Amino acid sequence: MLKSINHIGIAVKDLDASIETFKKIFGFESVHKEVVEKQKVSVASFKVGDVLVELTAPTDDSSPIAKFLAKKGEGIHHIAFQSDDVNNELDRLRGQDIKLINEEAVPGAHDMLIAFLHPKSTNSVLMEVCQEK
């Protein structure tokens, strides 16, 4: 079952410049930064209330984020929803004829398991299901 919004992913070209911009807006002190090699991205995230805002920049031109930036420019990339069991949730959604990008969960930022739902099934909104390991 999807329980809550975990994070909002924002695609950015320049991670450090974007961190500074969002610091001015939200006034946060602490930023979590990491590189997710499998996704070919560098991520910086911070909390706004109970929700993470995740700034995501490509580390390689073949990254899905690089392709998104080339096609649509910077902006909201996805909304991630918390689940207790991503693979079980994927099975449930598959049974509801929801198209999946990931057939099984893969490693993501914050040491989570993640999977994306295809925007063709979600009114053009890229959605992620995530689970703490």
> 122 phi and psi, to 5 degrees?
-130, 40
What is the per-residue pLDDT across 108-131, written as a single tens digit (0 to 9) for each?
999 999 999 999 999 999 999 999
Tokens of 36: 């997710």
List the domain boundaries for the chain: 2-132
Tokens 């992620």 locate to 128
Fold held by 2-132: 2,3-Dihydroxybiphenyl 1,2-Dioxygenase; domain 1 (3.10.180)
Tokens of 78: 């996805």
What is the per-residue pLDDT across 39-55, written as a single tens digit (0 to 9) for each?
999 999 999 999 999 99
> Which residues, 6+ apart, have CB-to-CB distance to 27 below 8 Å?
none
Which amino acid, residue 65? I
- The pLDDT value recorded for residue 55 is 98
